[in-house]
Structure 1
Amino acid sequence: MKLPHNAHVAVVDGENFIVLRNQGKGFDIQLANAERPDLDATNFSAGIKHQDDVGQRTGATDLNELAHGAAAAEWLNAKSISGEIENLLVIADPKTLGEMRRHFHSELEKRLVGDIAKTMTKEPIERIEKAVEAA
């Protein structure tokens, strides 16, 4: 994947949220400047669509994780609306990414250069760079 210079890369899962910046240009991905925004996960209605009988019985639905994904999307929305984010790539596990997409503001969607459905929050930056290059 070609990633614009200074593009933001949000790496998210149900508990973690890291924002990186691409210092490289084009296909030369060089991620740096890790920021860990402090989120207030308050949107617990976010996961209401995931509350099926099977999910409740097996414990497969974690509303805290889905609320964290919604909070990450809200943080990214605010930064996009204020103009602090010009280009954005989102990397998140499939469940979190699905929840985040439901909360993306149209301004964020204009700035979205792509997304990767993969859990990478605990990976070193080098592995995240390789995943972006391979996408």
Structure 2
Amino acid sequence: MKLPHKAHVVLVDGENFVVMRNKGQPFEPNLELVGRPDLSLTNFSAGVRHQDPGSQQPERNDLNELARAAAAAEWLNAKAIAGEIDQVLVIADPKKLGEMRRHYHTELEKRLVGEIPKTMIHDTTDRIAEAITAA
């Protein structure tokens, strides 16, 4: 995958939200940490979809994790609307990525350069850059 110079890369899992930036070239990403924004978990709308008994099991549905994904999307929406993010790549496990997509604003959608459905939050920046290049 081609990752534009200065594009943001966000990594999301059920407990963490990390923002990085590509200071390298499009086909040779070099990621630097921008920050770990503190998110307020206020959107628990995912619970509406999980009313059947099978999805009530804790290992299958953790509303706090889905609320963190929604909060990450809302944070990205605000940055995209304010013009603080021009290009962004989202890396999250498939379940969190699906929840985030439900909350994407059209301004954020315009700025997405890609999505990678993987859990990589604890990987090194070199491994993340390799995954981006291979995607």
Q: What's the counterpart of residue 25 of structure 1?
A: 25
Task: Give CA-to-partner distance per residue, 1:8-43, whole Å, 9 cap, x none.
Answer: 000001110000000012101100033100000111
2 CA distance for matches of 1:133 and 1:44? 34
Aligned partner of 2:110 in structure 1 is 110
Q: CA deviation at 1:47?
A: 3.7
Provide Cα deviations, 1:75-126, integer angstroms capped at 9, x if missing partner: 0000000000000000001110000000000000000000000001111111
Matches within 5 A, 1:21-60: 21-57=21-57, 59-60=59-60
**2:90 partner SS:** strand
Distance in 2 (alpha carbons) for counterparts of 1:36 and 1:93: 18
What SS does structure 1 have at the residue aligned with 2:95? helix
Query: Does the CA-based 8 Å contact 1:51-1:61 persist in structure 2?
Result: no
Relative distance call for 1:58 and 1:17 in structure 2 (3 A) is closer
RMSD over aligned CA atoms reads 1.2
Aligned residues between the structures? 135
Aligned position for 2:67: 67
Local SS of the residue matching 1:55: helix
Normalising by structure 2, report the TM-score: 0.95
1:126 is paired with a residue whose SS is helix
Runs of 4+ off more than 6 Å: none
Name 2:98's counterpart in structure 1. Answer: 98
Task: List gaps (5 residues or longer) in structure 2.
Answer: none
Overall identity of the aligned pairs, in %: 64
2:133 paired residue number: 133
**Equivalents in 1 of 2:32, 2:41: separation in Å?**
26
Question: CA separation in 1, counterparts of 2:8 and 2:58?
Answer: 36
* 1:51 Cα deviation from its structure 2 partner: 3.6
**TM-score, normalised on structure 1?**
0.95
Greater shift, 28-37 or 47-56, is seen at 47-56
Q: Structure 1: 5+ residue runs without aligned partners?
A: none
What is residue 119 of structure 1 aligned with on the other side? Answer: 119
